[in-house]
Amino acid sequence: MTAASYLTEQRGLRSWLFTLDHKRIGVMYLWSTLLAFFLGGVLAMLIRLELLTPTRTLMDADTYNKVFTLHGAVMIFLFIIPSIPAALGNFVLPLLLGARDVAFPRLNLASYYLYVLGALMALASMITGGIDTGWTFYTPYSTSTGGAVNLVTLAVFVLGFSSIFTGVNFIATTHKLRAPGMSWFRMPLFVWGMYATAIIQILATPVLGITVLLLFLERVFGVGIFDPKLGGDPVLFQHFFWFYSHPAVYIMILPGMAIISEVIPVFSRRPIFGYRAIAFSSVAIAGVSFLVWGHHMFVSGQSVLASALFSFLTFLVAIPSAVKVFNWVATMYKGSIWLQAPMIYAIMFLLLFAIGGLTGLFLGSLATDVHLHDTYFVVAHFHYVMMGGVFIAFLAGLHYWWPKMFGRMYSERWSRIAAALVFVGFNTTFLAQFVMGSRGMPRRYYNYLPEFQPLHVVSTVGSWILALGLVITAGYLLASLRKRPDAPPNPWGGMTLEWQTSSPPPTHNFETVPVVDHGPYDFPPLEAEEELAGRRA
């Protein structure tokens, strides 16, 4: 590399802590969220270990309740929600648009520090009594239990604003900082996905803020809105909570879909099939996501009329999701499919997300949801969407942009071994949970009926395979950082703007302002590409 990159132009801790560079903030976010994922993963392993036997295995019921609460809260608020937008998105969104930075760099740094503050508050709960409410904080349990609930509600409030700031930045950046020639329909689909995500972040997160604030005030002052003893309605809390937390599912999955929309055309060397359909379906999902939250409440005492409406609207979300999947598959048709790590994870995403999405039909449908609600079926379903979907897409994106972020190629061979282990481990862990769930094993159970033990053992063993795969992933990625920089500017042959600059990029992203004169997936004719492959080999 000739010129200094964003990694080397300035050195020292201060140059990182006070940076306004979106790439450095993205990298700081990346390491922080990965640390959170590691913590959440350790907690998950503890949960699986405890469930190896029907009664006590290694911890008491109180500890177990705190562990699963923290696992959920850490994974959702500290990992999945910020991982793709704030870590990968921060890094690549301005590059994809040909911008020098996001619109509000200081707000971006503020977002990161709010994240750190919120994370520290949430983790401080571990040493100040723990929290055993479940990540859903349902009242009146959450208003009557002891522990560090107050601290965690405030942490969630702070984390919410961190997320809002990211969303504000992305929308303003997309509107105002596109490079010359970058019309809306020349934007890479990742940008469309981020844009749709940002809409939800801005519109839904404030309601989470007021919900946890009211919960906090309920605990401190006894406000009375959610407390039946004071004339309040605990079911209203569920409306407040899910008004945010269901759209939040799309804050998580839309960025995952956005990554897949980048990876599949590049590694199939095909223009994406149905660009507009995918772009609009992202925005459609963002819109409809606000109309479906009540499907978490079919057995909660919500009225029959509300349940019926919410069920119907829920099914409408299935359509844009299905459209996306079919478009991705069709993109591969007559392509030149290059099975490198990002593509392997993208195909894994297609398979796992298909299961996650299709099992959602069981839960959106009223009669079957009554039986399956709050069982392991739900646990398996959302892990297929959140982990099989979002996390696998995150891995696809991480492998895709890793050379760009750090200027190093990782070991392709180890990445295949790891991917195979992750795939086998994941399915072993969670397919067993589908079966348990439909047979009537409730979630959040510390003790369980002995008849479920074989399936729990399978699930726990699966979690070990999964963990092994992830440890290997961490190993070869970290090992690549010890090498000398060896990544070419465009290792995958992508046509989007981030590949037009060096790897890693210079501080101001581009030496000259790029001018866009083609679509994001207008690859050169295939013959030339095949020739290129021959030369590289």
Partner 1 sequence: MSTHAENKNAVRTYSIVLGALLTLTAVTVAAAGVNFGSAFINVVIALAIASAKASLVALYFMHLRHDRPMSAVIFVTGLAMLAIFLMFCFLDTLSREQVQPGLTAQAPARAVSISAIILSAS
Partner 2 sequence: MSGSHTVVEHGAQEPFLQHHFHDLGQQAEASKIGMWLFLVTEILLFGGLFVGYGIMRMLHSQAFHEGHLHLDRSLGAINTVVLLVSSFTMAMAVHSARTGNRERLILLLAATLAFAGVFLGVKYVEYSHKFHDGLLPGRFYRHAGDSVPGVAVFFSFYFVMTGLHGLHVLAGMVAISWLLRRAVRGDFSATYYAPVDLTGLYWHLVDMIWIYLFPLLYLIS
Partner 3 sequence: MDWLRNLLMPPRGSTFADQVDPLFWFLVGLTAFFFLLIAGLCGWFILRYRRGRAVRRGVAPTHNTALELVWSLIPLALVIVIFFWGFHGYISAAVPPADALEIKVLAKRWLWQFEYPSGLRTVNDLRVPVGKPVKLVMISEDVIHSFYVPSFRIKHDVLPSRYTQVWFEATEPGVHRLLCTEYCGRGHSDMLGTIQVVSAEEYQKWLDSGGGLGEGLPPAELGRLIYTQYGCEVCHSLDGTRKEGPSFRGIFGKPVLLTGGQTVIADENYIRESILNPQAKIVAGYQPVMPTFQGLLNERQINALIEFIKEQK
Closest CB 310 distance from partner 1, rounded Å: 8
Contact 452, 402 (CB under 8 A): no
Is 236 among the residues that bind partner 1 (CB under 8 A)? yes
Q: What is the DSSP string of 88-134?
A: IIHHHHHHHHT-SS-S-HHHHHHHHHHHHHHHHHHHHTTTTT---ST
- As a whole number of angstroms, the distance between CA 499 and CA 108 comes to 23
- Residue closer to partner 1 by CB (options 242, 423) is 242
Place of tokens 């699963």: 68
Closest CB 172 distance from partner 1, rounded Å: 10
Residue 280 binding result from partner 1, partner 3, partner 2, none, given CB thresholds of 5 to 8 Å by partner type: none
Is 283 among the residues that bind partner 1 (CB under 8 A)? no
Closest CB 69 distance from partner 3, rounded Å: 9
Is 511 among the residues that bind partner 2 (CB under 8 A)? no
Cα separations in angstroms, 327 against 292, 330, 390, 418: 24, 5, 18, 28
Q: Which residues, including other chains, have CB under 8 Å from residue 243's CB and lie 6 or more apart?
A: 204, 207, 211, 290, 293
Is 304 among the residues that bind partner 1 (CB under 8 A)? yes
Give 442's strand partners.
375
Residues 198-227 that bind partner 1 (CB under 8 A): 199, 203-204, 207
Q: Residue 223: in which H helix or E strand, if any?
A: none
Which amino acid is present at 219?
Answer: R
How many residues of this chain interact with partner 3, rule: CB under 8 A?
90
Contact characters 14-53, partner 3, x per CB under 8 A? ----------------------------------------
Is 375 among the residues that bind partner 2 (CB under 8 A)? no
Contact 126, 67 (CB under 8 A): no
Out of 20, 110, 358, 431, the residue judged to bind partner 3 by CB under 8 A: 358
Residues 162-201 that bind partner 1 (CB under 8 A): 175, 199
Q: Which residues, including other chains, have CB under 8 Å from residue 496's CB and lie 6 or more apart?
A: 96, 188, 262, 520
- Residue closer to partner 1 by CB (options 220, 304) is 304
Is 230 among the residues that bind partner 1 (CB under 8 A)? no
Residues 79-138 that bind partner 3 (CB under 8 A): 132, 134, 138
Angle, alpha carbons 103-393-118 (nearest 5°)? 55
Contact 361, 316 (CB under 8 A): no
Q: What is the DSSP string of 385-436?
A: HIIIIIIHHHHHHHHHHHHHHHS----HHHHHHHHHHHHHHHHHHHHHHHHH
Out of 211, 268, 459, 502, the residue judged to bind partner 2 by CB under 8 A: 211
Residue 329 binding result from partner 3, partner 1, partner 2, none, given CB thresholds of 5 to 8 Å by partner type: partner 3
Out of 58, 306, 319, 526, the residue judged to bind partner 1 by CB under 8 A: 306
Is 453 among the residues that bind partner 3 (CB under 8 A)? no
Is 334 among the residues that bind partner 3 (CB under 8 A)? yes
Residue 128 binding result from partner 1, partner 3, partner 2, none, given CB thresholds of 5 to 8 Å by partner type: none
- Residue closer to partner 2 by CB (options 218, 262) is 218
Contact 37, 75 (CB under 8 A): yes
Give me the residues that bind partner 2 (CB under 8 A), please. 6, 9-10, 15, 18-21, 24, 99-105, 107, 164, 167-169, 171-173, 175-177, 202-207, 209-211, 214, 217-218, 221-225, 230-233, 236, 240, 507-508
